[in-house]
Structures are given as C-alpha cells and as structure tokens.
Amino acid sequence: MGILFEDGNFGLFRDGFLRTVELSAASAVLALLLGVLLAAFRVSPVPVLRTFATVWIEIFRNTPLTLLFFAVTFGLPRVDVHLSAFVCAVLALGCYTASFVCEVLRSGINTVPLGQAEAARSLGMTFGQTLVQVVLPQAGRAVLGPMSSVFIALPRNSAIAGAFNVAELYSVQQTLSERGYAIFAVFFWIALAYLCVSATVALGFRRLEHRPAVAR
C-alpha cells in the first residue's frame, strides 16, 4: 500500500484512473452509436450503404489499434484538423470498437425470425421503423453476452492512449518508474485498477442480461 501514499502518488493514480474511466466511457458511447448505425447499413436494402459498412468494418477490424492511433494523431493535423490528444484517442478507440459492435449486432439481427420484419412491413412500417422498433430490441437482448466482451476489452485497449500524450492510468507507470519505484509494485496497482473497471462493466452487462429474463 505504501507506494500509493508517497509523494502524492495517490493523486496521480486517482487522476489516471478517472481519465481512463472517462476515456473508456466516451469511446463506448461513440462505439455503440456508430456500431448501431453500421449494423443498420449492413442490413440495409441500399447497396451503397452495405458496401460502405463492409469496407469500414474490414478496414478498422483488421488494422492494429496502435496504427489507428498513429493515423488519427498524426494524420488529421496534415489535413488541417487539429484535435486534443484526448479527442483523438476517443476517435481511434470508438471507431475501432464500433466495427466489433457492428458485427456482434449483425449476428443478433440474423437471429431474429424473418417473419417478424415481414409482419412489420405488412403493417406499413418503413425499413427504419422495423429495424428500430422490432428487430434491434430483439437482437440487442440476444447479443448481450458477446457485446459485454467487446466493452470489457475497451478499458484495456485504452492503455495505448498513454503513448499518445493522454495522461490515463497506464501512463502513470512511466512517471512512477522514473521516480525509482519498483516496476512490479507499480504494475500490480495498475492491473488492479483495470480489473476494477472491467469487473464493473461485466457486472453491468450481467444485470442487463437478467432483466429481459425476469421481464418474461
């Protein structure tokens, strides 16, 4: 415990932890919104939208996350787009995670019986209304388990942001190592903090999984 309460280290850990939570939460919101939109494009009757979503997913899902950070952090300024390091990290993490969210949602959409959509269309509902009001609610419940794995991995992926001027939890180890603290002790507390974040996300999804079961 001593390392946390020496020379203001607790404040450093606290700030890094809160920054990681903030970064993970903002990236999760972006990934969820973008992932739902991409999933809608993937099942859209419009070929251009399907092609766009497919290309997006293939690019972002198969590109190393570190490379995406480089592209956003150093590529955007070259086209005269200047963003803070935190916003760049959110964009990289959000766009990367959105590709996985999309594929998980698409697999859930494929489990919804086709007759449900046909019945909705026969009642005069548009494709968008059918997707939002009929298909996605059922698909979302079906994929809560796989979706939890995607968002549990997000806080760990956010550790890459520390190498791109974002003062998050993982970057704390560099500061403490430079102060001469034992590297294993530093990594123990950092790993414990990441475990707390991941366990909280897992618990949240577990509660969501049980809600629909209780409602039935």
Residue 86 and residue 20: Cα distance in Å, rounded? Answer: 10
pTM of the model: 0.83
Instruction: Give the residue from 107, 205, 105 showing the smallest Cα distance to 153.
Output: 205
- Does residue 95 belong to any structural domain of this protein? yes
- Does residue 216 belong to any structural domain of this protein? no
Which helix (DSSP H) or strand (DSSP E) does residue 152 occupy? helix 144-157
Task: Please list the pLDDT of the chain residue by residue as tens digits (216 residues).
Answer: 566 666 667 778 888 889 889 999 999 999 999 999 998 888 888 899 989 999 999 999 888 999 999 999 898 888 888 889 999 999 999 999 999 999 998 888 877 777 777 787 777 777 777 777 787 788 777 788 888 889 998 988 988 888 888 888 878 877 777 777 777 777 888 888 888 888 898 888 888 777 655 444
Contacting residues for 68 by C-beta, under 8 A, at least 6 apart: 60, 92, 95, 96
Instruction: Give the residue from 121, 122, 96 showing the smallest Cα distance to 38.
Output: 96
Instruction: Give the residue from 104, 121, 113 showing the smallest Cα distance to 42.
Output: 104
- Does residue 84 belong to any structural domain of this protein? yes
- Does residue 67 belong to any structural domain of this protein? yes
Range of the domain at 81: 2-210
- Does residue 55 belong to any structural domain of this protein? yes
Please report, for the domain that includes residue 34, its CATH number: 1.10.3720.10
- Does residue 188 belong to any structural domain of this protein? yes
How open is the CA angle 166-170-173, to the nearest 5 degrees?
A: 110
User: Cα dist. 184→17, 36, 101, 170 in Å?
Assistant: 18, 40, 34, 13
- Does residue 15 belong to any structural domain of this protein? yes
Number of domains composing the chain: 1
- Does residue 215 belong to any structural domain of this protein? no
